[in-house]
Amino acid sequence: MTNTALQDIAIRALPALSGEQVTYNAAKNVFLSQGYTSAAGNMYYKAIRLSNRLVVYYDLGQGYLHTFLNGIKLFCFDGQKANLIAQKYWGGCDYRIFNEQFAKEQSILMLKDFLDGQLKLEGAHVSDQELSSFARNMVEETHRKQLV
């Protein structure tokens, strides 16, 4: 997939999903939403990774000391629009300090569960190892540097 094609996907999919302006941070290979600041002074925004098939949203909160992972949403991209396929939230006493590896592993598990459900609906069977590997590869595609 060319950089131009990925940029076209980003233009079509991201503003519609976030409802906000997004910018691309080349150093971290991630799209960032504009976000907002709460009355308590915390900043809330989305970090967005994508490939030609998958969009991964991290809902983040930036406090005075830590960045928190408040949730993850996964969207599949059908070439025209993104469709929500999985989501998970943390909050209250179950908050998570943001860790890229933890967020990535959670995304892989969420995608694996979604795909497993789709396989069951179709009466198909794939080994757990093969399903895990496929989900990992799809999520890792969103982490590869694809824009200049």
The pLDDT assigned to 41 comes to 86
Angle (CA) 26-30-34 rounded to 5° is 105
Residues 85-132 have pLDDT tens digits of 999 999 766 778 999 999 999 999 999 999 999 999 999 989 999 999
The pLDDT assigned to 19 comes to 60
Average pLDDT over residues 5-10: 63
- Report how far apart the first and last C-alpha atoms of the chain are (Å, whole number): 13
Cβ 24 vs Cβ 15: under 8 Å: no
The C-alpha atoms of residue 124 and residue 65 are separated, in whole angstroms, by 47
The pLDDT assigned to 10 comes to 64
137 vs 52, higher pLDDT:
137
- Among 24-33, 60-69, 111-120, whose mean pLDDT is lowest? 24-33
Tell me the pLDDT band of 64, cut-offs 50, 70 and 90. confident
**pTM, 2 dp:** 0.84
The pLDDT assigned to 1 comes to 44
Alpha helices in 25-99 (DSSP H): none
